[in-house]
Structures are given as structure tokens and as C-alpha cells.
Chains A and B, each alone.
Chain A
Amino acid sequence: MNRTVSSRISWWAALAVGVAVIASPVVAADFGPVPMLKVDAKKAALGKRLFFDARLSGDAGVSCSTCHIPEKGFGDGLALSKAYPGSDGFRNTPTLINTAHKAAWFHDGRLGTNLNDVTREMITETYVMNMDMRLMQERVKQDPVYVKMFKDAGYGEPSNGSVRKAIPEYLKTLTSRGSPFDAGKMSAAAQSGFELFKGKAGCSQCHSGPRFSDDTPHNLGVPENPEIWSNPARHMTYVAFGMFMGIENYMNIRRDVGAHIRTHKADGSDIGKFMTPTLRELTHTGPYMHNGVMKTLEDVVAFYNRGGGDDINKDPRIKPLSLSQEESANLVAFLQSLSGQPLTGPEHVWKDPINVNYAVIKDWLKQKN
């Protein structure tokens, strides 16, 4: 508690100084293109095929790309995501573009390690892909294309461990490129919006760095999406999630507790905090917010202009902004300038048909398993 209070005080002190001097938050200097990552081409190609292969799920019907659709900026275009058959989702699918640069994953930031763990989590989670990793390994081993690709990639024979390496290697190829912002080709409106972003609107206090995210959770008072609590298929998924994550009183919760799911603060001050999302590729990735309650970027800017929503834990920095209509429009123009070329070509999408029928291993009795 003490540390929280003192850090908050120093934050405000720093901000006050910053505003007093040039009205520009301390992090502004971090903006710039997202750096390309060095990638092992063969491993990434293997990861790409795995990403688009539904056999990685329990019923062989759901692939990573079922929810992370290239044409939708590697989101799904839905307010709330789909889920494994028998369930329905309770969060908005985040884009995977630039995901390899993140420090923590999921809207609640519950995994802060690496994409290997994230991959495992998504493949094995009951309401996502519901897969037993041992069965997945044996399915992959049954496909001669994979057997060759794993070998060529230096992984030896297919294994579940290598699957969890190859998919993150592919995700490293999903880096934003060619946005007007990066190319220095912003419109005048967008340039004005950028100044507001750094100044009057205060966006850059959290949306900082090349991805425009501080990788930490905040409470903005985003309203609940009532669909989660009125649709049993979504609500029950949240119940199972809450049960597994060990939150108390999970049957009586009617709101998404956000980061509380991992930090479990006794005073509840972490309830309703969600990770700052990237602002890149927004034109491909609506609806917005962790629960998809805002359909357009105009809605999002209007929300901030009102000073966010109502919540006891709301970040005190979220206050009415008094933006004019023109200023709001300029801010939207700036946000739009952060979207680059779609990553929908063969470099990023496995285009060859995948033969999902498992070939029989001939002379099985004579072959080593």
C-alpha cells in the first residue's frame, strides 16, 4: 500500500513538472516504428503452418487463426471472442500483431513470461482449444509434411515442446510496417491529433513506446458488456475461468474483475484494471476495449473526452478532456495513422491447403514409433 501511494505521488509530481515545462509526458521520446525481430525462417514457416492448423485443438476444429484472423488484423472483428465448442468467449480477441514485443499477455496480463507459455495456455485451455499436448504431439507426428518441416527447422522429430517454440517464432514475424505514422506521411489532421495525444488529451501517459502501450493494467471505468452476464455460454466460461484462477465468490460475480484475477489484492483495488492495449492496427481490429463495448474509434475518443466511465478504482488521470469536435476528429485521424499494411500475404499466412486426413504409416509393424 505504502509503495502504491508513494509511487502515485511521485508520478503526479513528475507529471506536474512535465506539464509545467513543455506539456509533454516523459515517455514521448519512445515513439517510433516497432523494430523488426530477427527470425529463423524455417522455424517461423513451421510455426505458420501450425498456427493455421485446426488439428492442434481437441476436436480438430479450432486453430489459432479461428480467432486471430489475418484479414481482421489477427483479431476476429467481434466484440466478444468465440470459444471452443460448448463455450463462448468473455473477452475481445486482441491482435497478435507486435505481440512478440509485449511484456505481458491477455487483457488481464496474467501471463508475464513469454509466448511459449502463452501458446501452451491457448492450446490446452478448456474453453480455447482444449487439447491434450501429448495427443497434439502424436497428431503432428502423423503428418509427413510436419515431420520434414520439424527436421529441416532443426527440431528433430515433432514434439509438443517444439510446437511451443515454432509458433512464437512465427509470431515474431507479425510486426507492424508501413503505417503513415512510421513513414512520416501523416495528414495534417493526424499531426494535430498526435500533438493532442501527447498533450491535452494525455493519451501518451499510458499509450507510450513504439506499440503505444505501457504494458501495465489500468482502470478506465469501461462499462460491462451485459452480453457476458446474460448469455449462459459466456457467463459459464467466466465462471470456469474464475474457478480455475481462484477468485472468491465466483458464482456471484457479475463483472469482469480484470487484473484482480492474478494479483488478488485483498482491498479489491485491482478490480477492473485491464492492460493498456497497443494502438497499432486499430483500423483492422475493432470493436475496442477488453470487452468490445466500443464499436468505433470515435466512440473510444468520446469515452475519454467524457472522462471515462464510473468505477471506484478508476485511474485519477482519467478526467474530462474538453476536446472540441475538431480535436476529437484529429485524434481519431492520428489513431488511424498507426495502422499499416495488412499482414495477409503468404509471408504471414499459410496459403497451401493443409491435408488434415492423417496418412497411415505404412509397414507400421516395422517402423519405430
Chain B
Amino acid sequence: MKKGKTLSHAIVAASLGIAGLGFGFSAAADVNPPLAALGMPPVPRDNPQTPEKIELGKLLFFDSRIGGDASVSCADCHVPKQGWGFNDPISRGYPGVIHWRNSQTVINAAYLGKLFWVGAAKSLEAQAPGAALGAVSGNGERDMVEARLAFIPEYVKRFNQVFGDDWPKVNNVWKAMAAFERTLIHNDTPFDKFMRGDRSALSEEQVRGFQLFQGKANCVECHNGPLLTDQKFYNLGVPRAEDWSESGLAQITFRYEQLAKGVTEKLYRKIKDDAGLYYRTKQKSDMGKFRTPPLRYTAYTAPFMHNGSFFDFDEIVDFYNEGGGTNEFTDGVMAKNKTKLLKKLGLTDEEKADLVAFLESLSGEEIKMTTPKLPPYAPLPAVVQAN
């Protein structure tokens, strides 16, 4: 794999004083971007943060009138009380359907350069319409979103103040949502405190787990840098979602997604698992690959993996301890699709427990939020006075 060994990384690592914490960093001999406390998320120059924009984005995030039937908001699949994700293996979908992947947490999405499970969007501004308008998620439509917002005087006023719109523009909906999401950050976990120098922030067990994470278990090979993800794509041999064999509703969405992602008819006929990155690149070598997820806030976001195959940290650690698994994109001619990084780890029960303890240190206080009071519709006046 690409190690990206550079002198600057080593310097950064040294300057952060990680080696000085006495973990035997040399044992990993690693060259990955070092683990570190998480700073503030980047803000794109064309969408600066303002308090008014953030507040508008919050209202829109919770407003079901963005969805096709005015019953589905972002917060229906990214539920604050469910880790800002959805606590089923496969997310709920639009009424009448089920989704086909696990709903990812919104917490810390602000830091990601690759959103959705295979990086189909590169910014929060691009992710929002994908989710709001897709047939199995929000099933909204741009003209209707703009039309509805024009009949909500509070939004007309706020879009004018924030963006200068005469009438709310749909592209600014996504910008406001993104600004709100950039406030949903989780960078003060026990782990972050520890990395900032508070040695008491982690228990002894967690410190041992941290060493395993970087050493024997080698999680850091992909879960590295301040985000604990390299944002690259791997096939770990995660098994297919059980739903597809057991639910007619899930089978419908599975086939729909093949059509929506533009596979050949030949593949449509035979495929029985989520081909992941392949849908974007159409390279067979990318079948079954998904972007490494960040690990912060995971105490609240089970189940895990792109299809929610694992319900807790123990199952995850067991999976990696066995060297990952197999799926239809790791068999036969596809054998080389599975990442070579996964090997049997030979962890003892105590080591597994230490690793789980460390994973728990990556979550701090739960981020709670109640649904804000949403502004009502009103008729338009007979003679319109645009702002």
C-alpha cells in the first residue's frame, strides 16, 4: 500500500510529541499521517460561516418540506438521538421504500473530502442534494423545494438576509445545510484530550488499546491522521446485507440501485452485493471497496460498516482479528480486490478488550439537539413585494 513516507510526516509526529508519550512508536515503524487531536473543520471560501446561515441551515436540516412528500427531513435518516445516523443496519428510506446502505453520522462529516460510502460527493454542499433528491432517500425535486420555500415568509426573509435571494434559491438550501453541519463537530473526546497532553484522559486499558491500534492490530494503517481515516477505498470482505435475501422491499431497492448506478445489463442480472466504488469508476478492481470511515462518535453510531453488518465494537474487532471476511468481490478472479492489509491478528481476549476500550475513547459527550420550531406556510399577497 501507499505509505507516503515523508520526512515532513516524521517531523510532524515528532513535533506533536507523540513519540515522547512513550508508546514505542518505532515498533509500528509507521509512515502514515500521525494520529492527532482534531482541530476545526475547513470552511470553503465560497460558503463562509455566519451565525444566521448556520441557524437557517439548522431549520432546513429539520424541515420535512424539503422531502418529496413533505414528510422526510435530513433528520429522519440522520437522527440526533441515533448518533445522527440511523440505528438499523440499512437506513430507512423514503416512505414506501428502504435504503440500501447504512446511514452515516453527520457528526464530523465537515472534515471529510469524500462523502457517501464511496465518495460520490466531495463536499457537504454536494452531498445534501444527493440525499434530498434521491428516489430512495428524500425524493424531493428542486422546483418544488423552491416553490414550497417561497410560501414560508420566515424563510423568504432569512434567505434574503443570508444570501440576498429575492426568493429562496435551492442551491442556497444546500449551502445553509452545509454551514449547519460544519458546527456538528466532535473534537473533544478523551482521545483528543489525551493527544493534547492530558495523560489522565485515557485509562490504562485504553492506552494499551491505543498501542495495539498502532501496533499489533495495525488499525492505523487506514484509520490514521486526526480524523482516523485515510479516506481511501478498501474491500475488507464485509459480508453482504442479510436484508437482500430476506426482504422483498430490500430486493427492489437493490435492483433499483444497479439501474441508477448505470451497470451493464449483464452485471445487473448477476450481481448480488453492493459493488461500492465500482459504481463510480466501473473498474472491476474497485468492486466491493468502500471509503474508510472516521472512528470518532462511534459509541453512538452502531451498527457499523456500509451495510451495518456489525452491531458493536466486539464484533468489529473479531472481524479484523480473523483477517476480515469474504464477499462476492473477494472470490475467484476477484481475489485480489480484498486488501492485503488484513491478516489474522492473533489478539488475546485481553488485547481485544483493550482495543474496544480504546475505540470507546474516541467518543465524548453525546451531541443532543431537539427539533427546532419550524416556520409555517402563508399565502402570498396579491401584489408581491419582493425583497
**Residues of A in contact with B (beta carbons under 8 Å apart):** 55, 57-61, 84-87, 126-127, 130, 132, 134-135, 137-139, 141-142, 229-233, 235-237, 239-240, 243-244, 251-252, 254, 357-361, 364-365, 368-369
Contacts and interface: CB of A to CB of B under 8 A. Distances in A.
B245 interface: yes
B47 to A, nearest CB: 24
Contacts of B94: 58-59
Contacts of A232: 151, 377-380
A59 B272 contact: no
A184 to B, nearest CB: 50
Best-buried of B94, B144, B269, B379 by chain A (most CB within 10 Å): B144
B255 interface: yes
Contact of A369 (B97, B151, B253, B269): B269
Given A86-B70, A240-B144, 7 more contacts: A59-B95, A126-B143, A130-B69, A134-B256, A134-B259, A138-B259, A243-B146
20 contacts: A57-B96, A58-B69, A59-B69, A60-B97, A61-B96, A86-B65, A87-B70, A130-B141, A132-B256, A134-B260, A135-B135, A137-B259, A138-B253, A229-B380, A232-B377, A232-B378, A236-B150, A360-B251, A368-B269, A369-B258
A135 B136 CA distance: 9
Contacts of A368: 269-270
Interface string B246-282: 1111011101101110000000111110000000000
B310 interface: no
Contact of B251 (A127, A142, A229, A244): A142
Contacts of A87: 70, 144
Contacts of A236: 144, 147-148, 150-151, 377
A364 B245 contact: yes
B99 to A, nearest CB: 12
A230 B270 CA distance: 53
A251 B165 CA distance: 13
Given A358-B249, A364-B272, A237 B96 contact: no
A138 B69 contact: no
Best-buried of B71, B97, B269 by chain A (most CB within 10 Å): B97
Nearest to A137: B259
A126 B68 contact: yes
B386 A130 contact: no
B31 to A, nearest CB: 41
B139 interface: yes
A196 B68 CA distance: 49
A47 B136 CA distance: 25
Contacts of A139: 252
Interface in B220-263: 244-249, 251-253, 255-256, 258-260
A360 B245 CA distance: 8
Contact of A138 (B67, B246, B252, B271): B252
User: 4 closest A-B pairs (Cβ-Cβ)?
Assistant: A358-B248, A86-B70, A60-B96, A132-B135
Nearest to B377: A232
A237 B246 CA distance: 39
Nearest to B65: A86
Contacts of B255: 138, 141, 369
Interface of B: 65, 67-71, 94-97, 135-136, 139, 141, 143-144, 146-148, 150-151, 167, 244-249, 251-253, 255-256, 258-260, 268-272, 377-380, 382, 384, 386
A237 B382 CA distance: 17
A135 B272 CA distance: 17
A190 to B, nearest CB: 43
A365 B245 contact: yes
Contacts of A58: 68-69, 94, 96, 135, 139
Best-buried of B71, B248, B377 by chain A (most CB within 10 Å): B248
A231 B248 contact: no
A369 B271 contact: yes
Contact of A59 (B68, B268, B270, B386): B68
B278 to A, nearest CB: 16
A233 B377 CA distance: 8
Contacts of B148: 86, 236
B157 to A, nearest CB: 15
A360 B380 contact: no
A292 B71 CA distance: 29
Contacts of B136: 135
B151 A235 contact: yes
Contact of B147 (A142, A229, A240, A358): A240
Best-buried of A139, A254, A359, A369 by chain B (most CB within 10 Å): A369
B247 A360 contact: yes
B252 A358 contact: yes
A369 B251 CA distance: 9
A86 B377 CA distance: 12
A128 B186 CA distance: 42
Nearest to A127: B144
A365 B272 contact: yes
A239 B147 contact: yes
A104 B70 CA distance: 32
Given A84-B69, A86-B70, A134-B259, A230 B135 contact: no
